[in-house]
Amino acid sequence: MAKIAINIATGSLQQEEIIVGIDLGTTNSLVAIMHPESKKPVALKEYNSSLPAGQAGSLVPSVIHFGDNKNITVGEEAKQYLVSDAANTVFSAKRLMGKTYKDVRHHITSLAYKIIDENNKPVKVQVGNTFYSAVELSALILKELKKQAEHILKTTVSKAVITVPAYFNDAQRQATRDAGKLAGLDVLRIINEPTAASLAYGFGMPSQSHPSGENPVGGEQAKIIVVYDLGGGTFDISVLNITGGIFEVLSTNGDTYLGGDDFDLAIIDYWISENNLDALHYRQLLRLNAEAAKKQLSSVAFYETVYEGITLSLNREKFEHLIKPIIEKTIVCCKQALMDAGIKKNNINEIVMVGGSTRIPLVKEMLSAFFGKKLNDSVDPDEVVAMGAAIQANILAGHTTDMLLLDITPLSLGLETMGGLMDVLLPRNSKIPAKASRQYTTYKDGQSGIKIAVYQGERDMVKDNRRLAEFNLTGIPGMPAGMPKVDISFLINADGILVVNAKELRSGIEQTIEVKPQFGLTDADVEKMLLDSMEHAKEDMDIRALTEAKTEGEQLLQTTEKFLQKHFDNLTQIEIAATSLAMQALQLSLELNDKNLIQTKTEELNDISRPYAERIMDLAIGKAMKGQQI
């Protein structure tokens, strides 16, 4: 049923429904729209300048407090309870999206609320006797953002574009979309934060659409843009090629568990060590002061506060010493992103800064030194992502037709084939939306089902990759091995979510699933998967070649065995003896795991069996055609 937009203030019908852009952040969240008059993206706190700072429309802290009588507050009001009622106040819920207890167990000591182990299912937070998933927690934040947007805009808000880190996997993207639905929002698009940021900076846009009224790209000229996005809980680095309004993501890298929160933890650990404090008792107080120190030390040289006779102090030199290793991790990601894109530093035209953590001077210094260029931080790093989401919302609303976003998938996607091999259907850095399909068949006579296991990763063996999902295509009519034709297709939609379809073409049996992984990537999984694929490239190639040779050899042995049983009376004793010896030699080579030997013995068995197989085939055809006229 179609929805009609109604202006809440006047009760009148609204000609056009507003689509908002939402930055659902780890630390803060924000709503933005395209201003109907200026046609520029604006954060809602700027939409109504008469609103006092801190009221509806400003940055909303991504904090939720569960009070008495199920009284739930979100944002600034909830933030007040971080110390006084820490166990019932949840922060950094975004870091729990699509994660299991195994993924976050090393970080639990930094949280004041209780995380429940759900046996390899997405984690839940326990508040009193109630359990909340990361989706439900995020939905509460989105509900607050929706309410504030409706208060400011004086109209119903039901459609949104929501941003996610580029390195969010399928589970985390699904979780974000589900949270939107739970909050009463029709999520039209999930867009990567770096791509949103490049939109907000005005790259590839007409000059009147840029926040500053300028066109940094300069017409149709192609530009290479690097977006460095260091937020509260996640880090992304994306390399984009922008030409004539087409945004093409060349590569992306990052860490879904690295950000400003880690700077805070480094300060906390330092203070605990220096003052010999009870970490459990003071954890939340230390976290708030660490966040304050981080912000203050971005502009002054010294921070100090006293609480219950305990002095917490930190100078900028020590602060930078503590966080330098964390920033270096982001530099490693930058190097990998450039390598994946095939881009050299001197080819880069702009490096834009996104995320509140990029305000830290050392971050800028180290990044500028790495690229050897001046950084572009002209747009408020806290607002830039939401503003980009608003521009994407405007594109979806049909108001901007001269722009096209081409995102990519960060890791290869494929299936498990015989021998535990990874058969890649969509290579990493494939443009999305994207679709790929391939035909497979059965391995045994009369096989009625096929197990379809979907994997993500860069290694040749599935055991070294990450399993996303597994399902069975059943009901295949009994046919000889190799006769069924099973078409398996992968579709990554515009939100980066994978849909897998399997169809047996002869019978029409079909099954489709939307891949929802049971567990998320751990902190270093993405980076480790990429590095491992390079470090073990030679080893993987050798293993793949051996596995393929063994699979071919095993299939030939089975086929030959069945052929001998069926046509024994049509073969000479010499042919039977020669075939048996060749089969024994091939079987021995399989046990020796020597690829070259297996291939040699496979070819020898083929050479021996080919002449009589062709002879028997000719006899069969002749018998079938007897009395027939062509």
Structure confidence at residue 495 (pLDDT): 65
Structure confidence at residue 88 (pLDDT): 92
- Position 12 pLDDT exceeds 60: no
Does this chain's domain 413-531 share its CATH topology with 538-625? no
The alpha carbon of 141 is separated from its chain's Cα centroid by a whole number of angstroms, namely 21
pLDDT tens digits for 507-519? 888 887 776 443 3
- Position 298 pLDDT exceeds 80: yes
Tokens 């059965």 map to which residue? 442
Domain made up of 261-321: CATH architecture:
Alpha-Beta Complex (3.90)
Whether 502 and 486 have beta carbons less than 8 Å apart is answered as yes
Class of the domain covering 19-260+322-408? alpha beta
Structure confidence at residue 400 (pLDDT): 64
- If pLDDT is split at 50, 70 and 90, which confidence band does 548 have? confident
Percent of the chain exceeding pLDDT 70 equals 82
pLDDT tens digits for 353-393? 998 899 999 999 999 999 999 999 888 888 899 999 998 88
Q: Which amino acid is at 259?
A: G
- Position 228 pLDDT exceeds 90: yes
- Position 455 pLDDT exceeds 60: yes
Residues annotated catalytic, as ranges = 23, 94, 193, 229
Distance, in Å, from the CA atom of 371 to the CA atom of 374, rounded to the nearest integer, reads: 8
Structure confidence at residue 465 (pLDDT): 83
Structure confidence at residue 541 (pLDDT): 66
Instruction: Give the residue among 383, 326, 469 at the shortest CA–CA distance from 391.
Output: 383
Structure confidence at residue 406 (pLDDT): 56
Mean pLDDT of the chain: 80
Quote the tokens at residue 389: 């989401």
Tokens 């900028």 map to which residue? 316
413-531 — its CATH code? 2.60.34.10
Quote the tokens at residue 604: 């020898």
Q: Which amino acid is at 386?
A: A
Distance, in Å, from the CA atom of 483 to the CA atom of 475, rounded to the nearest integer, reads: 15
Whether 582 and 590 have beta carbons less than 8 Å apart is answered as no
In Å, the largest CA–CA distance within the chain is 108
Structure confidence at residue 227 (pLDDT): 92
- Position 606 pLDDT exceeds 70: yes
> Which range has highest mean pLDDT (41-45, 90-94, 404-408)?
90-94
Strand partners, 469: 454
Instruction: Give the residue among 249, 251, 253 at the shortest CA–CA distance from 404.
Output: 249
Structure confidence at residue 330 (pLDDT): 95
- Position 122 pLDDT exceeds 50: yes
Instruction: Give the residue among 500, 498, 499, 442 at the shortest CA–CA distance from 474.
Output: 442
Q: Which residue has the higher pLDDT, 408 or 229?
A: 229
In the predicted model, what is the mean pLDDT of residues 284-297?
A: 88
The predicted model scores a pTM of: 0.60
Q: Which residue has the higher pLDDT, 290 or 243?
A: 290
Distance, in Å, from the CA atom of 518 to the CA atom of 503, rounded to the nearest integer, reads: 24
pLDDT tens digits for 15-73? 467 889 999 988 889 999 988 777 788 888 655 544 443 333 468 999 999 998 879 99
Quote the tokens at residue 131: 């359990």
- Position 442 pLDDT exceeds 50: yes
In the predicted model, what is the mean pLDDT of residues 182-209?
A: 75
Distance, in Å, from the CA atom of 371 to the CA atom of 294, rounded to the nearest integer, reads: 24
Whether 199 and 247 have beta carbons less than 8 Å apart is answered as yes
Fold of 538-625: Substrate Binding Domain Of Dnak; Chain:A; Domain 2 (1.20.1270)
Least confident of 183-187, 428-432, 453-457: 428-432
Structure confidence at residue 86 (pLDDT): 85
Strand ranges of the sheet holding 124-127, from the earlier edge strand across to the other edge: 114-116, 124-127, 130-133
Structure confidence at residue 209 (pLDDT): 42
- Position 237 pLDDT exceeds 60: yes
Instruction: Give the residue among 117, 77, 81, 89 at the shortest CA–CA distance from 101.
Output: 117
Q: Which amino acid is at 569?
A: D
For residue 162, which phi and psi values (nearest 5 degrees)? -115, 140
In the predicted model, what is the mean pLDDT of residues 69-95?
A: 88
The residue ranges of every structural domain in the chain are: 19-260+322-408, 261-321, 413-531, 538-625
pLDDT tens digits for 327-355? 999 999 999 999 999 999 999 999 999 98
In the predicted model, what is the mean pLDDT of residues 393-401?
A: 73
> Angle 533-536-542 (CA atoms, 0-180°, nearest 5)?
115
Q: How many residues make up the chain in this entry?
A: 630
- Position 564 pLDDT exceeds 90: no
Structure confidence at residue 315 (pLDDT): 94
- If pLDDT is split at 50, 70 and 90, which confidence band does 267 have? very high
Tokens 């040699």 map to which residue? 600
Task: Determine which helix (DSSP H) or strand (DSSP E) holds 315, and give its type and residue range.
Answer: strand 310-315
